[in-house]
Structure 1
Amino acid sequence: MSIDAGQPGISWFLQLRAHIDGSLIHLRSDGDAGWALLIRAGALFLEGSTSTMPLALDMEDTASLTDGSWHSLALTATAAGSKIFLDGYQCFSTTGDLSPDGCGPGSELLADPGSGIEIRNLATHEGVLSPADILALSPAPTPLIEFAAARLSDYDVSELSELTAGTIFARYRVRGPGQHGTILAAGGGGTEQLNLSVTAEGIEYKVLGRRGQWRTFTAHGHWDQGHWHDVVVRVGHGAVQIYVDGYLEAHLPGQAFFGAVGSLDEVVIGQDTSGSRLFGEVRNAALFSSVLNDSQIKKLSSVTPLDTQCLFDAGFHDSISYRIPSLITLKSGVVVAGADQRETIANDSPNSINFTIRRSFDGGLTWGDLQTVLTYPGHGAKGASVIDSCVVQDRRTGRLVVLIDHFPGGIGQPNAEAGLGVDEKGHYILHDSQGVTYTWNEDGSVTDSDGAPTPYRVSERGDVTVTEDGQESPGGNVFLADGEDPNQTLLTARTCYLQMIYSDDDGETWSAPINLNQDVKEEWMSFCGTSPGTGVQLRSGRLVIPIYYNGDHKRHFSAAVVYSDDGGTTWKRGKSPNDGRLFEGREIDSRTLDTEAAATHEATLIERADGSLLMLMRNQHPSGKVAVAVSTNGGETWGDVSFAQEITEIFCQPNAVPWPSEDCPERVIFANASQMRPYRGRGVLRLSEDGGRTWIASRTFNPAHYVYQCMTILPDGTLGLLWEREMQGLYFSRIPRAWIEAAKI
């Protein structure tokens, strides 16, 4: 078994069986550091601390560990972070170093099973086991019944008669397109009541309900080309899930299994109960009395593991939360990952939020420590903030440009006031408690509305100094929440500011923030901010960043772009697709928009081979599909809004990136959270080979918690994906082209 001896660290492997929540293992040290791995609410939970950070990792996606079945568990730990594997596949990771070196002298791992929990085969491995090593150590789940003939014995049938939950596995092929039929069927009293088939629509699983109506569950797709496919039907926890070749293809509410078949007396494979056979063959099949998890299903199909590293998570640099990923590969090959650092509470603005980055110099294999790029005064819910970074590089000059939203203390999107908050030069307009306005000049001086000097000076950080009769006194900070500082004198306008920062050395050093409101925001907008993730540089050299904003009705938003033709020196805002749009028989515009059904929110951009610009938009239209618009003039105006019928929309940020090759110059990858479960989740990557005009294949990347994401093409041609679980952290995964190409089969 290979261990990367060049990478220091440690690995642990064990098997567990649990019927109840409780403790599993813990690591004690001579000092205050140490951690415990528990089962809490049926899922893994890591708590304690390393020498550098606290740990409170709720691994919610590992739920149902108290099912009484044996599971394998592995941990790898290095100074770069630690990874947790369940049943052979990585389920979570953390920036914390869980190794003895990371927790201090005297550290020792001990098994600590609680009542109702068994642990066996606990082993320590010096060095880091590879994902392949861990998969090899992890046994496949044990079936209740395997099919050795076309029909189960009466005894085996009786074993199934009371199962209301469980899993069906079958490996099948048909003889070619258009040839379909039944994979598995069951009946009782001479009536077929359960059927699993491959059809022209995809994979269909149906069960005859008590009221004589068929309950039908379908995974739409084409798995009839003559290839071997694994199909898994997972029934439990209120849903039917259909997997093909180890990946989730459908998650459908409802629960129906063999226990729903009245007087069950027949289970057949490769045919229905009348004897009509599949136009192909079933090579092997098995039935499980347990509801297999995602890892166990992947193990059945020998899915190659993907490697994921946590880049930002709760406790990292003493922060409670990180959200909102941005990611870019620079012309130099440096990869820059950005995140909101939410210091004390996990909420959006109003909150104390900083913009932070980590950089990789080897294509995302290893990462430098956190850099705080942009921060404003204040803490907690009253702190000033920056939020929602969007990145683009001018590849002519190498300049890395970030647009980001800034809010003063106590202000966020819901309570921001309308207005620009700056003068025509981008200088902040300040006001005192009586509403008298002033201008904060570049040299730190403050002038009144007539341009006359005042006794105020403001530092770059926003601290006010008042000079009267030759004496200086503190005057608060202009960015803080109103009333937060007893010395308060002047404040910025309580609105949203679109700002730009830039780096000319691959993210090592950064400019001060530059206000853009004077060029791109209107007085009637209270919010005008980025669509986080990535912008694009067009072949013309134009930089284009997606934004969205509100109008007279603050709760309704419209997507648009801002663009620069001089490398970010000046910016303009284009029209929104909602300006002049015909919607439900009337013409609407972005200022007076009064219906959420026509609203468009965060968006992502792709330049096509013909020079047109594609925008894919978050929305709440009743269609439940991602909104689409196309511009032929670089984002200045847009055509009609339509909806991508292949892409489900659950009101969550999208991201897309071109991934061209010589044989497919318009290959595009799109990613979003595609299903409410009821939380936002099921991250799906989709493939287009015609610039986003059609979407020909998709693959579920993470079937459970998954919210925002950002993608980039790494120097070696691999896809880099930085994604979030919303509450736990941001994770970086490297995805080979073959992973998505396989979804076309």
Structure 2
Amino acid sequence: MNKRGLYSKLGISVVGISLLMGVPTLIHANELNYGQLSISPIFQGGSYQLNNKSIDISPLLLDKLSGESQTVVMKFKADKPNSLQALFGLSNSKAGFKNNYFSIFMRDSGEIGVEIRDAQKGINYLFSRPASLWGKHKGQAVENTLVFVSDSKDKTYTMYVNGIEVFSETVDTFLPISNINGIDKATLGAVNREGKEHYLAKGSIDEISLFNKAISDQEVSNIPLSNPFQLIFQSGDSTQANYFRIPTLYTLSSGRVLSSIDARYGGTHDSKSKINIATSYSDDNGKTWSEPIFAMKFNDYEEQLVYWPRDNKLKNSQISGSASFIDSSIVEDKKSGKTILLADVMPAGIGNNNANKADSGFKEINGYYYLKLKKNGDNDFRYTVRENGVVYDETTNKPTNYTISDKYEVLEGGKSLTVEQYSVDFDSGSLRERHNGKQVPMNVFYKDSLFKVTPTNYIAMTTSQNRGESWEQFKLLPPFLGEKHNGTYLCPGQGLALKSSNRLIFATYTSGELTYLISDDSGQTWKKSSASIPFKNATAEAQMVELRDGVIRTFFRTTTGKIAYMTSRDSGETWSEVSYIDGIQQTSYGTQVSAIKYSQLIDGKEAVILSTPNSRSGRKGGQLVVGLVNKEDDSIDWRYHYDIDLPSYGYAYSAITELPNHHIGVLFEKYDSWSRNELHLSNVVQYIDLEINDLTK
């Protein structure tokens, strides 16, 4: 296994600090260990308690503040913050100068930001990023490490939080924070504006250091952290993706923990976009993870580390021409030992919203389904892909000189055809998709292919014979709802392998029903079992647990503000009517829910664990909810609610698994993925490890 460091380390290591709470005190640089930082701080302090009253550090700082570049390094906790509060401020406190100040601020939603203002110079900058902070973990306040760099040379303001660059903004008119007109106050826990304290804070500043220098990225990365999370997939890793969504976790029988995810290249947008499916695994209970590889990918668009704009003008820009994969799910087949991964497949420029809902993309001939193709210049899908990949002309019922390979690539007379790959960039204020000169094999899912599939959604399956170290070429599953209906949509997360048989089940959904895909032969063939649901347009993403032999409970997303469930007592052949869980709330549009059956007894009973946001006002307030199963009637008593973080902090799609050591691994989107204000955030899919005792306190 190729183990790797999870991400750059950031923080400061301090020894020998003993300060009175709330008393501004200067610490000499030789009392601290700054690792490889090449300069001593002009100010160092710590152990400040913030309780809606500012702490004045002006005498200790202002006469040392000089030069045009500065760095602030801070370790702080805020598990009960005010809605808007300043952690640090420099200001002109005189009357008439209320808009001359610099502040580092946070909101109770997890947003972090800075303001740089000077009314006389006409400067009014506000830079921030939502979903950047931790409030609490395992019931204790989390120490966040913040580094803010004001760099006059590059004219940039850059913020790092917990080892992650959350923003870096370049400006035409750069104002050093030391050069704000008339600075006479330096405060912790507030900003002094015209003699009054604004943006009062609650929490603590454990350490703060200021430097008259813009420290380098390398120096930033050498400062240690005390994070509660890890990054399995991260911006700039081997996927070259900047964004990730829709995580999964699955513990294999070998003890290996496997994860898959959408590696997204066009911001955090769903398809239509460029999206691959990446995987990683851990052999040590989630402590370290392998370098990600692709389980499914297309090559029509380059894998590029693109920073997608978040401004209102450009944030809705989507890659319009790429084929994509989205929403993966994993199961292990105990009979063959292979791992099966399914995902939705979208042809070039297609997503859920514009997929043809009245066409499966296949034609039925003598009881068999064959993939349909349309040739450039034709109006109709006159071709099908027959045995051995031979392309047939349906108007003559004769083979052509074209074949389609097992990779869905186009060959003419046995020779592979190619297309020119695309790259994307933002040029003159708009998204540009352009050829980059590289030739790649022509594929029927690509927009420049000679032959193209029907513009609808498909489900693909790939397998691994070595527990996720490599993946086979994907194959399309046949349609399950007939020729004249688009494919069902896969429910991301885990498939279900029944304990007492070789049956595998994946949950999918379509309008008005959950459609279960069932295989009894290690994924060689599949059939469907349908269960009606009382929602026509719901994204009814579902996850299953086996309560006991052959008894399956499915939990799924709805449009009612509640999590629904249904039960099968015959191994998935038939299903009960829909019921709802009390005591857990979701928004009207809902959110995916993750569920597992725990292997150990809790309070003497078998248990199910759900992962979900518990909030009516957004994808936030993440909880793991422990339910105790009553054997008499298979009802569940949802006994324990564990808060992942603060109720106001984001929590969207998630994955949970029981680790070999019986801990619970959680990989989740730590932001509100529905909010248009929180589009295109990097490194927000984070992994934590919890013990069962953490959940049941």
| TM-score, reference length from structure 1 | 0.57
Distance 1:497 1:295, change over 3 A: farther
CA–CA separation in structure 2 for the residues paired with 1:428 and 1:323? 29
| 1:695 equivalent in structure 2 | 638
Distance 1:570 1:295, change over 3 A: farther
1:377-401 deviations in Å (ceiling 9; x for gaps): 4333311011000111112332111
| 1:513 equivalent in structure 2 | 474
| 1:420 equivalent in structure 2 | 360
Are residues 1:660 and 2:599 paired?
Answer: yes
Match of 1:536 among 496, 503, 508: 496
CA contact (8 A) 2:627 2:636 kept: yes
Match of 1:732 among 687, 691, 694: 687
Distance 1:291 1:436, change over 3 A: same
Are residues 1:741 and 2:696 paired?
Answer: yes
Distance 1:73 1:602, change over 3 A: closer
CA contact (8 A) 2:295 2:462 kept: no
CA contact (8 A) 1:577 1:629 kept: no
| Deviation at residue 345 of structure 1 after TM alignment | 2.9
CA contact (8 A) 2:389 2:403 kept: yes
CA contact (8 A) 1:94 1:313 kept: no
User: What SS does the corresponding residue of 1:739 show, helix, strand or coil?
Assistant: helix
| 2:404 equivalent in structure 1 | 458
The one-letter amino acid paired with 1:502 is: T
The one-letter amino acid paired with 2:628 is: E
With CA pairs under 8 Å and 6+ residues apart, which has the higher RCO, 1 or 2? 2
Q: Identity of aligned pairs, percent?
A: 25
Matches within 5 A, 1:132-151: none
Are residues 1:715 and 2:675 paired?
Answer: no
| Deviation at residue 445 of structure 1 after TM alignment | 3.0
Are residues 1:669 and 2:609 paired?
Answer: yes
Matches within 5 A, 1:572-721: 572-578=527-533, 595-596=536-537, 599=538, 601-609=540-548, 611-621=550-560, 624-650=561-587, 651-662=590-601, 664=604, 666-677=606-617, 679-690=618-629, 693-703=636-646, 704-721=649-666
Distance 1:94 1:395, change over 3 A: farther
The one-letter amino acid paired with 2:131 is: E
CA contact (8 A) 2:362 2:483 kept: no
| 2:428 equivalent in structure 1 | none
User: What SS does the corresponding residue of 2:472 show, helix, strand or coil?
Assistant: coil
CA–CA separation in structure 1 for the residues paired with 2:326 and 2:464? 18
CA–CA separation in structure 2 for the residues paired with 1:722 and 1:643? 25
User: What SS does the corresponding residue of 1:310 show, helix, strand or coil?
Assistant: coil
| 1:496 equivalent in structure 2 | 457
Matches within 5 A, 1:311-460: 311-316=232-237, 317-379=239-301, 380-417=319-356, 418-423=358-363, 427-432=370-375, 433-441=378-386, 443-449=388-394, 451-460=397-406
Matches within 5 A, 1:21-60: 24-25=71-72, 39=104, 43-44=111-112, 58=129, 60=131
1:554-610 deviations in Å (ceiling 9; x for gaps): xxx5323211111211111111133xxxx6xxxxxxxxx7x55xx461011111126
User: What SS does the corresponding residue of 1:687 show, helix, strand or coil?
Assistant: strand
1:536-565 deviations in Å (ceiling 9; x for gaps): 111223111111113xxxxxx532321111
Distance 1:676 1:516, change over 3 A: same
* More displaced stretch, 396-405 vs 433-442: 433-442
| Deviation at residue 499 of structure 1 after TM alignment | 1.4
| 1:283 equivalent in structure 2 | none
The one-letter amino acid paired with 2:640 is: A
User: What SS does the corresponding residue of 2:278 show, helix, strand or coil?
Assistant: strand
CA–CA separation in structure 2 for the residues paired with 1:335 and 1:58? 32
CA contact (8 A) 2:273 2:349 kept: yes
| Structure 1: runs of 5+ lacking an equivalent | 1-6, 28-37, 47-55, 65-70, 77-89, 97-110, 122-140, 143-161, 166-288, 297-304, 551-556, 584-592
CA contact (8 A) 1:653 1:672 kept: yes
CA contact (8 A) 1:57 1:314 kept: no
CA–CA separation in structure 1 for the residues paired with 2:393 and 2:227? 60
| Deviation at residue 60 of structure 1 after TM alignment | 3.0
Distance 1:702 1:114, change over 3 A: farther
User: What SS does the corresponding residue of 1:738 show, helix, strand or coil?
Assistant: helix
CA contact (8 A) 1:626 1:643 kept: yes
CA–CA separation in structure 2 for the residues paired with 1:499 and 1:368? 24
Distance 1:446 1:524, change over 3 A: closer
| Deviation at residue 692 of structure 1 after TM alignment | 6.0
User: What SS does the corresponding residue of 1:648 show, helix, strand or coil?
Assistant: coil
The one-letter amino acid paired with 2:562 is: K
CA contact (8 A) 1:465 1:475 kept: no
| Structure 2: runs of 5+ lacking an equivalent | 1-6, 14-43, 56-68, 75-102, 115-126, 136-141, 148-159, 167-175, 191-195, 208-225, 302-318, 421-441, 674-680
| 1:74 equivalent in structure 2 | 145
| Deviation at residue 369 of structure 1 after TM alignment | 0.8
CA contact (8 A) 1:537 1:543 kept: yes
Distance 1:24 1:636, change over 3 A: farther
| Deviation at residue 335 of structure 1 after TM alignment | 1.0
| 1:309 equivalent in structure 2 | 230
CA–CA separation in structure 1 for the residues paired with 2:642 and 2:508? 28
Distance 1:421 1:396, change over 3 A: same
Kindly report the root-mean-square deviation, in angstroms, between the aligned alpha carbons of the 2 structures: 4.3
| Deviation at residue 461 of structure 1 after TM alignment | 4.4
CA–CA separation in structure 2 for the residues paired with 1:406 and 1:547? 14
Matches within 5 A, 1:210-359: 290-292=201-203, 307-316=228-237, 317-359=239-281
The one-letter amino acid paired with 1:733 is: I
CA contact (8 A) 2:667 2:686 kept: yes
Distance 1:403 1:462, change over 3 A: closer
| Deviation at residue 457 of structure 1 after TM alignment | 3.1
| Deviation at residue 640 of structure 1 after TM alignment | 1.4
Distance 1:164 1:471, change over 3 A: closer
User: What SS does the corresponding residue of 1:319 show, helix, strand or coil?
Assistant: coil
CA–CA separation in structure 2 for the residues paired with 1:92 and 1:59? 14
| Deviation at residue 447 of structure 1 after TM alignment | 1.8
| Deviation at residue 343 of structure 1 after TM alignment | 1.6
The one-letter amino acid paired with 1:389 is: S
CA–CA separation in structure 1 for the residues paired with 2:179 and 2:280? 39
| 2:12 equivalent in structure 1 | 12
| 2:156 equivalent in structure 1 | none
| 1:231 equivalent in structure 2 | none
CA–CA separation in structure 2 for the residues paired with 1:472 and 1:370? 29
CA contact (8 A) 1:95 1:312 kept: no
Distance 1:460 1:702, change over 3 A: same
Distance 1:375 1:475, change over 3 A: closer
The one-letter amino acid paired with 2:611 is: A
| Deviation at residue 464 of structure 1 after TM alignment | 3.0
CA–CA separation in structure 2 for the residues paired with 1:711 and 1:564? 24
